[in-house]
Amino acid sequence: MKIEELFTRNRPVRGILSIKNMLTGRTYLTATEDAVADIKKERFALDLGSHVSDELQKDYSETGLELFSIDLEIEAGPDDDLKALLDKTAREYAEKGISLYRG
C-alpha cells in the first residue's frame, strides 16, 4: 500500500510496518495499530538517534534516510492477531533469505 493512501483514510490502519535498508535489503518489522502514527514515530526515533533497534539505528545514521523505505507491508483486518501476523511475516522473510533487524 502506498503511504499516501494511509494518510487519506478516515480511520487508523492496522498491520505490519517494514523499514527496509534499500542498500542491503535488511528489514525491520513491527506490528501497528495505527500505521500513520507509527510511521511518524519510527521516523522520529530514527532521526533522533533513539530507535529501539540499535542495528537499524546504526545503519540509518551511517547511510541516511535516502536509502531506507518505510511501508505498510501488510494491512490487517480488525480481528487479526497482530503478534501472530508479525511472527508469520518474519518467518516468511527468513524463508526468503531476507535478513531482519532485531528490535
- The confidence band for 95, taking pLDDT boundaries of 50, 70 and 90, is very high
Residue ranges covered by each domain of the chain: 3-95
CB atoms within 10 A of CB 96: 8
Alpha-carbon distances, residue 23 vs 14, 18, 26, 28, 56 (angstroms): 27, 15, 8, 14, 13
Domain 3-95: CATH architecture, name and number where available: 3-Layer(aba) Sandwich (3.40)
Q: For the chain, what is the radius of gyration of the CA atoms?
A: 13
- CA atoms of 17 and 85, how far apart (whole Å): 11
Averaged over 16-23, what is the pLDDT? 97
List pLDDT tens digits, range 52-62: 999 999 999 99
- CA atoms of 43 and 58, how far apart (whole Å): 14
Question: 59, 96 in Cβ contact below 8 A?
Answer: no
pTM to 2 decimal places: 0.91
